[in-house]
Amino acid sequence: MATEVVTPKAMVMADLKGKVDPDWCPGCGDYGVLAAVQKALVELQIPKHQVATISGIGCSSNFPGFIDTYGMHTLHGRSIPVATGFKMANHAMTVLVTGGDGDGFGIGCGHFVHAMRRNVDLLYIVMDNQIYGLTTGQTSPTSRLGMKTKSMPFGSIESPLNPVSLALSAGATYVARGFSGDQKHLTELIKRGIEHKGFSFIDVFSPCVTYNHDNTFQWFRPRVKRLEDNPEHDATDWVAAMEKSLVWGEEIFIGRFFERNDLPSLNEAEPVLKAGPLVQQDVRIPADVAKSFVDELM
Amino acid sequence: MRQSFSVGIGGAAGQGVATPGDIFAKIFSRRGLHLNAYNAYQSIIRGGHTFLTIRTGPDKIATIDGKIDLLIPLNQDTMDRHLGLLGVGAACLYNAETIKPGTPAEGVQMCPIPVSKLADISKNKVAQNTLAIGAGLSMMGVGFAALEEVLTEQFRRKGQAVIDENVSIARAGYDYASQNFKPFAWPLPMTENRYAVLSGNAAMAMGGAAAGVKFYCAYPMSPSTGVLHWMAEHARKAQIMVRQVEDEIGVINMAIGAAHAGVRSMCATSGGGFALMSEGLGLSAQAEIPVVVIDCQRAGPSTGVPTKTEQGDLWQMLGAAFGDYPRVIAAPLDIGDCFTLMAEMFNITDRFQCPGIVLCDLLLSEGRLSVDPEVLNFNPTIDRGELITSNGTADHEPYKRYKITESGVSPRVIPGVPGHTHTVSSDEHDEDGVLISDEYTNTTKRRAMMEKRMRKVQGIEASVPPPEIVGPANADVTLIGWGSTYAVIDEACELLREAGITANHLPIRWLVPLHGDAIVKLLKNAKKTIIVENNFSGQFARYLRSETSFVADGHIRKYDGEPLFPHHIVNAVKEQLAGNTTLSVPVHEINV
């Protein structure tokens, strides 16, 4: 009997449609991010069963339900450690982490910093709307000084955190900023982030059309400037990346701020993973090794 | 009465208490003797007071009892605190030049060693320790060759000169004792048996490795840190990924992530760290991802007494994480059981896709015990439950991660398999993993999913054996304990029999499921029941009562940070049989 060679059909956008449609508010910035992620996976043709999308809690963290990959909707702020454990157990899979600014920079900030220090090979996309949406509009770690919210009705008196400069200082090996209103540009950033071996971070301006009346699409649009349009920007220059990350006002940079490829990712550095993904390794300890463990105690 | 001999070595932390302890332990176990060791210490790196007790003998020795036959005080403090533990036939070996002898009880031999005459103390700071080891073994009737062998191993890495120097000092102590001190009336015997000597922490780590753990992570916290240390040291040989994580919240979530990806995953902590893990435990239950957490109890609440033992976390385990969900909790009975229990726990959590808690305590975690190497079986049954690892037929039904089944168990797929993509969730979800929280009407789905998960409870109960009474039927008294009190109660029963009181013992190993009906049946005809535990409020007694309405006749509770000794139980039982009290709180002999 002749063997029939089946050529797998190319994956198209429709293949990545989740079991349910997003329930985000009409006009929410997160739609643009979802489409950009799906587009990036289609363009890279990574089989969807080899992708895990892991999130925390919040509007944007419902993301894994809206895309057809292996998905995990975890706890508020805990997506990064869950994703780290997942990646360590099966580093053959592409692991995407998606969430919001409250989830990632508020409750999850400690995990965020340590994942970058570890250079875990994850792509972390934060849909940053500078407000808490699902809890109906309170101040977030990236809300601007003076912004009036339900939890700070007289205006925020706490400085916003700068996710890009934080990521740079914590040692992320790929740092970028995107804008939901520039989907094509964002798709390119995501593709590069997926392909980068190490921790990739993309802070995405993803306006909340319901609760944030300051940082709207209209507010961002004239301000965002692509670093890619500036031929002088050298993404291997950490100091230049840091300087550009701090520019905030009439001009705000989006694009690939920084990338280095000379550091091994955690899974590349870990000797135990040289024998292949843990999930595929034999669960039994070889008899001679087991004997040596007991002999040590005799 | 079981024949035993106890050595107590005390001094300030940093004075070198551990090394003589290791040397004695090695020599005892190589003579084929059982041993149990316990270190009472403070949360301090240098200074303070630490007191190591090693009890040995040809019969099973799984407890220490507070009685010391040979005391080696390395400083005045130890002499002052512990000389009172010595009785007729005991001896105290001390540095005659730095330590003033106290007033011993009658029949105690005081053995001053002229340290600077026997060794060059300017070159060897721990000469007094080495001299005392040599002297002690001489008095025990152990030939010098055994000590020479162990010292050679101990200092191998430091080179021949260091070995020679230590051997010669030990020899000087050995010879001095044989000329100047009276040997013990009971020379240390030898048997053909050979035991492995290990801590409960090492046993749990090894048990996890044997059960197929591929991912281990932790944040250091006494007394659980030894698990991390064993894992880290042996990770490469055992092919286990070991990670130290930023905090216990990260720990449990990382372990869950690895477990979801398909490997057996484990973590360990103590009460305070476990408190941080509670939320993650709920994720494990809701997303139905098996994970095993070891809680090594220490005295709390809050940071409590970090280096002292207690059984005070039971209610935290019973109530850990909000909501209503199936969980499994078991307490190992001794250090050998710390190993054995791990594979059993993993099989159950894998089969029922729920969190499992191993409730250990400092007594076992940091104590050491001689264990038959056969117990350390690296080839246990591994049952990973209903797991989908390949696509099977391409035209299978749409995969439902949380399929409603009679057993409550839905087949789990290892991510990476084509045709089975799905989302697992900490939010309540439908059979296919879709969140139900956004739907207009979802009470039916919530109820169905809740019932599906809770149906696992029956299966869990059926797969765990009910407890059994150890010892004679119709005993005068039945002692009920859980976890680490096992060996203490066992020895107390023997001492009671010698005193003419028949006693038996109901050890509880599985706390959830409890098998309450079986317990009540066992206890229904008991003449007198007494619950023994190492906490203030009788956490197990309250739990048993809440589950079964069973109220014990009496209680023995200790909460001073030190373990129960067999004689504490014996005295309390006599007191209670005489009708003097229904609650005994044994007083520890000494402040360590």
Best residue of B229, B244, B254 to probe chain A, by most A CBs closer than 10 Å: B254
Chain A residues with beta carbon closer than 8 angstroms to that of B209: 285, 293
Using the predicted structure, report yes or no on whether residue A3 has a pLDDT greater than 70: no
Residues B503 and B355 in one domain: no
Min Cα distance B324 → chain A (Å) is 17
Nearest CB to A111 within list B29, B246, B279: B246
Whether residues B283 and A75 touch (CB distance < 8 A) is answered with yes
| Chain A residues 220-279 with a CB less than 8 Å from chain B | 270-273, 275, 278-279
Using the predicted structure, report yes or no on whether residue B195 has a pLDDT greater than 60: yes
Chain A residues with beta carbon closer than 8 angstroms to that of B432: 19
Residues B252 and B279 in one domain: yes
* End-to-end CA gap in chain B: 27
B438 touches chain A (CB under 8 A): yes
CA distance B402 to A256: 40
Residue from B425, B269, B460 nearest B353 by CA:
B460
B224 Cβ contact partners less than 8 Å away, ≥ 6 residues apart:
B201, B218, B268, B269, B270, B273, B294, B295, B296, B365
What pLDDT does residue B189 have? 92
B196 touches chain A (CB under 8 A): yes
Residues B114 and B71 in one domain: yes
Residues B165 and B214 in one domain: no
CA distance B354 to B327: 6
What pLDDT does residue B438 have? 73
Chain A: residue whose CA lies nearest to B214? A278
CA distance B377 to B379: 5
Using the predicted structure, report yes or no on whether residue B441 has a pLDDT greater than 80: no
pLDDT, mean of residues A140-155 = 96
**Strand bridging mode B554-557 / A94-100:** unpaired
Chain A: residue whose CA lies nearest to B260? A86
Burial of B375 (0-12, 13-18, 19+ CB in 10 A): middle
Q: Return mean pLDDT, chain B.
A: 96
Residue from B381, B319, B324, B322 nearest B350 by CA:
B381
B19 Cβ contact partners less than 8 Å away, ≥ 6 residues apart:
B126, B129, B154
| Chain B residues 9-48 with a CB less than 8 Å from chain A | 29
* End-to-end CA gap in chain A: 60
Nearest CB to A73 within list B247, B420, B427: B427
CA contacts within 13 A on the Cβ side of A93: 35
User: H or E segment at B365?
Assistant: helix B362-366
Ranges of H-type helices in B48-106: 76-82
Whether residues B424 and A69 touch (CB distance < 8 A) is answered with no
B418 touches chain A (CB under 8 A): yes
Residues B202 and B300 in one domain: yes
A184 Cβ contact partners less than 8 Å away, ≥ 6 residues apart:
none
Whether residues B214 and A275 touch (CB distance < 8 A) is answered with no
Whether residues A278 and B210 touch (CB distance < 8 A) is answered with no
**Strand bridging mode B328-330 / B510-512:** antiparallel
Question: Can you give the three-state secondary structure of B120-146, one letter per residue?
Answer: CCCCCCCHHHHHHHHHHHHHHCCCHHH
CA distance B578 to B581: 8
What pLDDT does residue A56 have? 98
A70 touches chain B (CB under 8 A): yes
pLDDT, mean of residues B334-358 = 98
Using the predicted structure, report yes or no on whether residue A73 has a pLDDT greater than 70: yes
CA A53 to chain centre: 10
Domain count, chain B: 4
Final residue belonging to a domain, choices B137, B152, B180: B180
Residues B157 and B219 in one domain: no
Q: Would residue B120 count as lying in a domain?
A: yes
What pLDDT does residue B394 have? 67
What pLDDT does residue A2 have? 53
Nearest CB to A73 within list B415, B418, B425: B425
Residue type, B239: Q
Do B202 and B210 touch, CB atoms closer than 8 A?
no
Q: Would residue B188 count as lying in a domain?
A: no
> How many other C-beta atoms are found inside a 10 Å radius of the C-beta of residue A57?
23
Do B140 and B188 touch, CB atoms closer than 8 A?
yes
Residue type, B254: M
Residue pairs between chains A and B whose CB atoms are closer than 8 Å: 205
Residues B316 and B170 in one domain: no
> B458-513 pLDDT, tens per residue?
999 999 999 999 999 999 999 999 999 999 999 999 999 999 999 999 999 999 99
Nearest CB to B236 within list A89, A271, A297: A271
Min Cα distance B240 → chain A (Å) is 7
Residue from A171, A182, A195 nearest A223 by CA:
A182
Min Cα distance B330 → chain A (Å) is 23
Whether residues A85 and B426 touch (CB distance < 8 A) is answered with no
Do A70 and B412 touch, CB atoms closer than 8 A?
no
A255 Cβ contact partners less than 8 Å away, ≥ 6 residues apart:
A176, A177, A185, A189, A226, A227, A228, A233
Do B41 and B306 touch, CB atoms closer than 8 A?
no
What pLDDT does residue B45 have? 87
Nearest CB to B212 within list A86, A273, A284: A284
**Strand bridging mode A94-100 / A51-55:** parallel
Q: Would residue B470 count as lying in a domain?
A: no
Residues B95 and B11 in one domain: yes
Q: Would residue B284 count as lying in a domain?
A: yes
Nearest CB to A84 within list B195, B197, B257: B257
What pLDDT does residue B141 have? 95
| Strand-pair partners of A174 | A200, A259
Using the predicted structure, report yes or no on whether residue A183 has a pLDDT greater than 70: yes
* Cis amide leading into B301 (omega within 30): yes
- How big is the CA angle at B191 (ends B185 and B192), to the nearest 5 degrees? 170
What pLDDT does residue A6 have? 64
A191 touches chain B (CB under 8 A): no
| Chain A residues 108-147 with a CB less than 8 Å from chain B | 110-111, 114
- The proportion of chain B whose per-residue pLDDT surpasses 90, expressed as a percent, equals 92
Chain A residues with beta carbon closer than 8 angstroms to that of B246: 110-111, 114
> How many other C-beta atoms are found inside a 10 Å radius of the C-beta of residue A15?
15
What pLDDT does residue B591 have? 78
CA distance A44 to B304: 54
Nearest CB to A19 within list B247, B255, B432: B432
Using the predicted structure, report yes or no on whether residue A213 has a pLDDT greater than 90: yes
Q: Would residue B380 count as lying in a domain?
A: no
| CATH for B36 | 3.40.920.10
Band (pLDDT 50/70/90 cuts) for residue B66 is confident
Final residue belonging to a domain, choices B436, B464, B492: B464
Q: Would residue B472 count as lying in a domain?
A: no
Do B557 and B538 touch, CB atoms closer than 8 A?
yes
| Chain A residues 10-49 with a CB less than 8 Å from chain B | 18-20, 23, 47-49
| Chain B residues 205-244 with a CB less than 8 Å from chain A | 206, 209-210, 212, 214-215, 217, 234-241, 243
Do B368 and B198 touch, CB atoms closer than 8 A?
yes
What pLDDT does residue B549 have? 97
Band (pLDDT 50/70/90 cuts) for residue A5 is low
Band (pLDDT 50/70/90 cuts) for residue A7 is low
Helix, strand, or coil here: B53?
A: strand
Which phi and psi angles does B525 have, rounded to 5°?
Answer: -100, 10
Residues B213 and B316 in one domain: yes
Helix, strand, or coil here: B567?
A: helix
Whether residues B376 and A23 touch (CB distance < 8 A) is answered with no
Do A17 and B388 touch, CB atoms closer than 8 A?
no
Burial of A213 (0-12, 13-18, 19+ CB in 10 A): middle
| Strand-pair partners of B356 | B292, B328
What pLDDT does residue B2 have? 79
Question: Can you give the three-state secondary structure of B241-305, one letter per residue?
Answer: EEEECCCHHHHHHHHHHHHHHCCEEEEEECHHHHHHHHHHHHHHHHHCCCEEEEEEECECCCCCE
What pLDDT does residue A288 have? 98
B373 touches chain A (CB under 8 A): yes
B262 touches chain A (CB under 8 A): yes
Residues B17 and B165 in one domain: yes
Q: Would residue B189 count as lying in a domain?
A: no
Using the predicted structure, report yes or no on whether residue A94 has a pLDDT greater than 60: yes
Final residue belonging to a domain, choices B355, B375, B395: B375
Using the predicted structure, report yes or no on whether residue B21 has a pLDDT greater than 80: yes
CA distances from B232 to A19, A39, B241, B269, B337 (A): 42, 41, 9, 15, 22
| CATH for B298 | 3.40.50.970
> B227-258 pLDDT, tens per residue?
999 999 999 999 999 999 999 999 999 999 99
Nearest CB to B422 within list A71, A87, A290: A71
Band (pLDDT 50/70/90 cuts) for residue A92 is very high
Domain that holds residue B488: 477-584
Mean pLDDT lowest for which of A176-180, B136-140, B386-390? B386-390
Using the predicted structure, report yes or no on whether residue B171 has a pLDDT greater than 60: yes
What pLDDT does residue B44 have? 87
Q: Would residue B192 count as lying in a domain?
A: no
Residues B128 and B274 in one domain: no
Residues B367 and B397 in one domain: no
Tokens 């015997």 label which residue? Answer: B189
What pLDDT does residue A24 have? 96
Chain B residues with beta carbon closer than 8 angstroms to that of A70: 415-416, 421-423
User: H or E segment at B482?
Assistant: strand B477-482
CA A110 to chain centre: 15
Burial of B332 (0-12, 13-18, 19+ CB in 10 A): buried
| CATH for B516 | 3.40.50.920
**Strand bridging mode B583-584 / A224-226:** unpaired
